[in-house]
Structure 1
Amino acid sequence: MLSKTAILGFLLFLLAAPAFADSELDLNSLVSEALTENHEVLMANEKVFTAEFKIPQAGALPDPMFMFGYQNESWNRYTFGEMQGAQWMFSLSQTIPFPGKLALKEEMAAKETQSLKESSNGVKFRTVARIKELYYSLLYSTLFVETIEKRIALFLRVEDAALARYSSGVASQQDVLMAQTEKYMSLEKEIMEKQRIQTLEGMLNLTLGREVNSPLGKPVKKPVSPYNHTLEELIKTAYDNSPEIKARLMMLEAAKTKIALTKKDYYPDVTVNTAVAKRTPPFEDMWSLTATVNLPIFYKKKQDMAVMQARSEAESALHEVDAYKYMVASSLREMLSMVKTSESLIDLYQNVLIPKTYQEFELFLSSYISGKSDALSVISRLKSLLDYEILCDKQYTDREKAIAQIEAIVAANSLISDVKMEQPK
């Protein structure tokens, strides 16, 4: 049998493992906190604010150019006022793009900014899904530990029965060792799961934007609520609401605007220049007004190629939209299948396997005590009971994780729309 020292070491290590705080860990509160404190969300917001500054820049005229200089009529002396051609010169020029170019540039910048806004919303939905995933992983580990602790009493009953039969000389020492081994193996699983809880708490705090060792409450298992959405309904909602799809559609619109902009480059821009030449009497001052235009005579190598490039980029953006839609539909089908499968398995575990296996355990334990059964049959039923209860909790948390992924894909979370971005000071 295991030594008392080993048993004591196991129990001391188990008791030394940290316990949850008594307070309940509210999922909605975690989601709200992550939407305002998560660093990825904050960085995405900053990118949107940065892009908004580009819109007025895109629609602004090029900077005017001011020129000043002096013209002299001799190499060896200053002839201003003596020679007719000696003069101080000042000019101001302004380039005016062909009508419509600036408006198209501003429109393209606005659509790119809108795409970033939608991508920012996508970051928020993914963050919410990540919070829920970690929450339900933490819940599973908590339920795992609670199930082990709850079923230790059954292992003790088997151990007591084996010890009683061994003391009476009607059972072998092997029965006692088998019962104790299974009990301590369960304790080992409990200890390992408590270590996993610490890791999950750190990851959850990191996602919340907290210090890694910030205290957390205890996640609570809620009743299973019906999930009656069909695949067709979810796909339609995702196509209408998904920020990732909207972001790609905005980039497609920006690419189309770029096509129109590159076509404008076939037409010349105009640079207007006004100049003054300052002279002294008897020479009068001079002035001039000129207009300069660029001649796009190399359009086959420049403008034609630019238009073809813009069209290719738009075609690529269109394929990206379609590819992402197909991926969304595939992901929704997979997640919905997981939800339905988990619901069926939960029903099977709760209403058939767990109660049936518990009844078998009690029956075989009574038979073992009376000498009509062997210890292996009792222990195998107890191990199966423990496995079914843990698997049931696993299916519950997997179902909730799948629903969280669906909500992220179809952009279904009212808490996100309630969070307003504040411009940094």
Structure 2
Amino acid sequence: MNKFRILIIGLIFFISNSYPQKASLQDLIDIALQLSPELKMYEAKTRASENRIQQNTNLPDPMLSFGVMDLPVPSLSFNRDMMTQKVVGLSQEFPFPGMLSAKEDVNRKEVEIVKQEYNDKRNEIIKDLTQSYYELIYIRNEIELTEKSRQLMKQILDVVRSMYSVADASQQNVFRVELELTKMSEMIAALKSEEAEQLSAINSLLLRDPATEIETDSLPQFSFARLNVDDLISKAEANRPYLRGIQIAEEKEKLNQSVAEYDFYPMFRLSAQYAFREDLQPDGMPQDNMISVMLDISLPLNYGGKVSAMVEETKSMQEMYREQYSASVQMLKREFGMAVAKLNSLKNRIELVEQGSLIQAKENFNSALASYQVGEIDFMNVIEAQNNLYTIEKNLYRLKTDYLKQIAELEFLTGMKIE
């Protein structure tokens, strides 16, 4: 029975990996986020940080002590000297009021920092998967366009061979068309290799076998976004987890400064002891038991400036995070400036192709093919027109793919959707 169940499970696994996985981009993103070991690592790190709060924000355990005081030697008798005592004691250390709550604030900030790291990694996974998915769509579209061009070229070859058979075309024309067909076959083979690379990249995020097939849709319809650098910076400062994490780290160091400054204040230890005394011999004189209460106060002398150094360290860390934040914003301005320029260029080029060169290339090819069939032009004009149409269609899809990939990059850098 167990062998049969194992066989069924293995068969299901084989079938699931033998056929294309039907899933939208959002479905793939959901799967990747659910399975990601990196996100699970940050989840565990978050739990560890939360557990650290209780470790560092409670009083230390009290100390229970047992002992003997003033025991005479060599007799070691408990009833020979009135100062001999058997002692039990209890002591508890206390930090200066407010120190434990300050430490708790520091540890809670650490939890917030890890959560921001989680969110930034989550956005990075979405970005990587989205860009790979769009690139896979582009490659498959280019394969499709190349295959259509190859089929069309085969039709042209049939026409050229028919014309060659009646001496209306030269053998050189036949060789030229065959050469173009060979080039297209080589291009399809290269594109298939690129397709396998993108499939491997996507499947690695899904924890699947690299060769698992994935069905893709066509590129989504989109409208051009109106973007400027200042607006993108504002969005990033408000929503990017990475930037928020730096700000929280600075806030944490401010709290660490408060914790360090508490070392300028004394620590306390309260202790109580109860002493048991036996009746003295030989006369049996009774002895009262005794109780002692002590309050120890540390003297915060700041030897060698050690406490001052801790405070200065936290101030330096605050400055470091401020500068890190400024450097990150400066880098984002550069990235956003380049991205906006690229998106505007892509927008203009897409509009020019769709409204001009693509229409002209289609008309030119249809005209060239009709003219060649009636013998008005040489076949070289047909090949040139066909190659021109193919190149324009391929470049248009490339431009649209690059536009969507750049938007995905901006969504990662800003931490929010770009509408």
Give TM-score, length-normalised by structure 2. Answer: 0.87
1:334 has 2:338 as partner? yes
- 4+ residue stretches of structure 1 with deviation over 4 A? 366-372
Question: Which residue matches 1:150?
Answer: 148
The within-5 A match list for 1:222-371 is 222-281=220-279, 282-371=286-375
- The amino acid of 2:100's aligned partner reads L
SS in 2 for 1:82: coil
Question: Which residue matches 2:10?
Answer: none
Cα distance change of structure 1 residues 171 and 212 upon mapping to structure 2, 3 Å threshold? closer
SS in 2 for 1:302: helix
Contact 1:234 1:410 in 2 (8 A): yes
Question: Which residue matches 2:415?
Answer: 411
SS in 1 for 2:260: helix
Cα distance change of structure 1 residues 225 and 66 upon mapping to structure 2, 3 Å threshold? same
SS in 2 for 1:216: coil
Structure-1 separation of matches of 2:60 and 2:206: 45
Question: Which residue matches 1:10?
Answer: none
The within-5 A match list for 1:159-238 is 159-238=157-236
Question: Which residue matches 1:139?
Answer: 137
How big is each residue's C-alpha offset from its partner over 1:112-131, in whole Å with a ceiling of 9 and x where there is no partner? 21111122111111111111
The Cα of 1:331 is off from its aligned counterpart by: 2.1
Contact 1:93 1:271 in 2 (8 A): yes
Structure-2 separation of matches of 1:226 and 1:64: 67
Contact 1:25 1:220 in 2 (8 A): no
Aligned length: 396
Contact 1:358 1:385 in 2 (8 A): yes
Structure-1 separation of matches of 2:249 and 2:397: 43
SS in 1 for 2:125: helix
Question: Which residue matches 1:13?
Answer: none
Identity fraction in percent: 25
- Listed as ranges, the gaps of 5+ residues in structure 1 are 1-17, 415-425
- The amino acid of 2:98's aligned partner reads G
Greater CA drift, 229-238 or 366-375: 366-375
The Cα of 1:24 is off from its aligned counterpart by: 5.3
Give TM-score, length-normalised by structure 1. Answer: 0.86
Cα distance change of structure 1 residues 166 and 77 upon mapping to structure 2, 3 Å threshold? farther
Cα distance change of structure 1 residues 403 and 234 upon mapping to structure 2, 3 Å threshold? same
Contact 1:266 1:299 in 2 (8 A): no
1:41 has 2:39 as partner? yes
Contact 2:68 2:86 in 1 (8 A): yes
Contact 1:72 1:79 in 2 (8 A): no
- Listed as ranges, the gaps of 5+ residues in structure 2 are 1-16, 280-285
How big is each residue's C-alpha offset from its partner over 1:250-295, in whole Å with a ceiling of 9 and x where there is no partner? 0010111112222221111111122222222333322211122222
The within-5 A match list for 1:8-87 is 21=20, 25-71=23-69, 73-87=71-85
Cα distance change of structure 1 residues 203 and 81 upon mapping to structure 2, 3 Å threshold? farther
SS in 2 for 1:190: helix
How big is each residue's C-alpha offset from its partner over 1:273-324, in whole Å with a ceiling of 9 and x where there is no partner? 2222222233332221112222222355212211111111111111111111
Contact 1:67 1:92 in 2 (8 A): yes
Contact 1:35 1:127 in 2 (8 A): yes
CA RMSD of the aligned region, Å?
2.4
The Cα of 1:103 is off from its aligned counterpart by: 1.4
Structure-1 separation of matches of 2:157 and 2:22: 35
- The amino acid of 1:354's aligned partner reads L
Greater CA drift, 332-341 or 96-105: 332-341
Structure-2 separation of matches of 1:401 and 1:20: 27
